[in-house]
Amino acid sequence: MPIYDYIYGTVDKSLDTLYEISLQRKEETPNVVHLMHLTTPESIYHLRVGFAYLASKPYSSAWYLWLLWPVTLWFMMLTRIYRRTFVVERNRFHQLRLQTWAIPNFREQYHLKWQKESINNMIEEAVLEAEEKGTSVLSLGGKELNRYGEVYVKKHPQLKVKLVDGSSLVVAVLLNSIPKETTQVLLRGNLTKVAFAVAFSLCQKGIQVTVLREDEYEKLDKSLGTKSEGKLVISKSYSSCKVWLVGHDLTEEEQRKANKGTLFIPFSQFPLKNLRKDCFYHTTPAMQTPKALENVDSCENWLPRRVMSAWRIAGILHALEGWEEHECGYTISNIDKVWEACLKHGFQPLTVPTQPKS
């Protein structure tokens, strides 16, 4: 406040008018909105609205955050009362205005059947809010919970905002994370839309896809049929492959059965616990962002600074390219087209960990 200007009579006469005008300025409308949710109660401290120091570093649990349990408990109670999304980040990429909205729910709540309706209602409210604001694209990440966004498109067929679940780019990132000399991949984990699409693409490329469980083999075989080109096999051996594509439900016991030098590549949104010092762990599907992306002063969950998840990048690409279709439900867009567009706009793949020679 210009208190000394008021005291000595040097205050600018237009100050109050300027202040009133600034209050009347319309709220900035985002071109692209990315919808996320909190992972754990303590994850709020790793956002911009929490502690800047923690937000600037990849997410990891810290013992001293337990000292804040009264505040954490209060926040958890607040999320039960305030059932609306809130803005956690604003960025700019060329002419695009980007915002990240958070849903006040935690990871574990998505596994509870009795929470399904409540979560879907909050996501629907966010979609309609983005529609009202004139947002072009909303990326929401792939969730079986709402059939990867298809529920909202069918319920509101006149939606102008394009819903993007990001699966196509996620598949492209995974395919380009596998070392070029690979001839065999082990697929293990909850079979999501991404897992089916990756298995199909690998079989088409002539790479053998090995699964360990009969139920997983039956689901994949039923989905792929003759398109598997005979490259889908079932095996009881954990040591047959050096490259594992895995979901977050891979058990610790299964990790320990992998050969020395195995490369673990997650296809889910959540990273694996790094149990093996003699193996290599890739990040969750993500890419390095271009320097043109502004206001990147915090990390996205466990990813390093200026590294963005493929689910989030997909929405930005959709807006940059002016694609008019929704990317949701169980359909996959042209993977090569999405990958080429991503590289064209300056997003770069992350380095694949080098495996030791066997």
Q: Which residues pair with residue 102 across a beta bridge?
A: 36, 86
How are strands ordered across the β-sheet holding 293-294? 162-164, 137-139, 32-37, 96-103, 86-93, 293-294
CA neighbours closer than 13 Å in the CB half-sphere of residue 110: 17
Question: For position 161, what pLDDT does the model report?
Answer: 96
Q: Helix, strand or coil for residue 131?
A: helix
Is the predicted pLDDT of residue 49 greater than 80, yes or no?
Answer: no
CA angle 16, 20, 21 (to 5 degrees): 115
Per-residue pLDDT tens digits for 243-302: 999 998 898 999 999 999 999 999 998 888 888 889 999 999 999 999 999 999 888 988
- 324 band by pLDDT with thresholds 50, 70 and 90: very high
Domain ranges for the chain? 3-166+288-345, 169-286
pLDDT bucket at 69, cuts 50 / 70 / 90: confident
Give the C-alpha separation, 222 to 150, whole Å. Answer: 23
The answer to whether the beta carbons of residues 115 and 107 sit under 8 Å apart is: no
169-286 is a CATH 3.40.30.160 domain: no
Question: Percent of the chain scored above 90 by pLDDT?
Answer: 52
pTM: 0.86
Could you tell me the CA-to-CA distances from 287 to 55, 59, 229, 347 in Å, in that order? 19, 17, 31, 6
